Structure 1
Amino acid sequence: MGILWAIIIGFLAGLIAKWITPGGNKPQGFILTTVLGIVGSVVATWLGQQIGWYGPGDGANFIGAIVGAVVILLAWGQLARRV
């Protein structure tokens, strides 16, 4: 059930991040949106642990996953602009 829950939360976080982030060059499709949200959650967890917001066993919450996904989308937009 944990993996299914991560996929659902990742998809929702990816959708919200794509809706918030400006620009038109964003990854499309269910799988890429889900991966975006999951990777955003991982990035938010890692950054939160480095800053000291989360402990070693803690993970990012839903808002953290959205913020991480927005960071990934902004980086994606910068890389896509250069190519």
Structure 2
Amino acid sequence: MDMIGSVIGWIVFGLVVGLLARLLHPGKDEMGLPATILLGVAGSLLGGGFWYLLQGGGDGFSPGGFFSALIFSIVLLAVGLFANDSRKRKLRG
């Protein structure tokens, strides 16, 4: 049951971080709820890993880790929107 709780916790945290990233990032994005969750979870993994390395270990659940996850989620969102826009332009000619 502990593993199921951890997975649910990651999904909820990913949803919160993903929604905040979408709220803070300017511009239009056409993402559904599953993509928002994946965005938040990916940003959390990258941001949390970065924060862990920056701190030299320690607790991953800290305000710095949360903000790092949020910043990485915004960066992932921007990169994804840029790549999607570039692909659309290339298809148009």
TM bucket (normalised to shorter chain) is 0.7 to 0.9
Of 33, 37, 48 in structure 1, the residue corresponding to residue 36 of structure 2 is 33
**In the aligned structure 2, how far is the partner of 1:67 from the partner of 1:22?**
14
1:54 shift after superposition: 4.7
Q: What is the RMSD of the two structures over their aligned residues, measured on CA atoms?
A: 1.9
**In the aligned structure 2, how far is the partner of 1:33 from the partner of 1:54?**
29
Q: Which has the higher helix share?
A: 2
Over residues 30-61 of structure 1, what are the superposed CA-to-partner deviations in whole Å (9 max), with x where a residue is unaligned? 111100000001111233345x2352x65363
Name the SS for the 2:26 alignment partner: coil
Task: Name the count of aligned residue pairs.
Answer: 80
**TM-score, normalised with respect to structure 2:** 0.72
Q: What's the counterpart of residue 49 of structure 2?
A: 46
Q: What's the counterpart of residue 72 of structure 2?
A: 68
1:16 aligns with 2:20: yes
Kept in 2, the 8 Å contact 1:11–1:34? The answer is yes
1:78 shift after superposition: 1.7
Residue type of the alignment partner of 1:3: V
**TM-score, normalised with respect to structure 1:** 0.80
Kept in 2, the 8 Å contact 1:9–1:62? The answer is no
Q: What percentage of aligned pairs have identical amino acids?
A: 26
Report 1 or 2 for greater relative contact order, CA contacts < 8 Å, sequence distance ≥ 6.
1
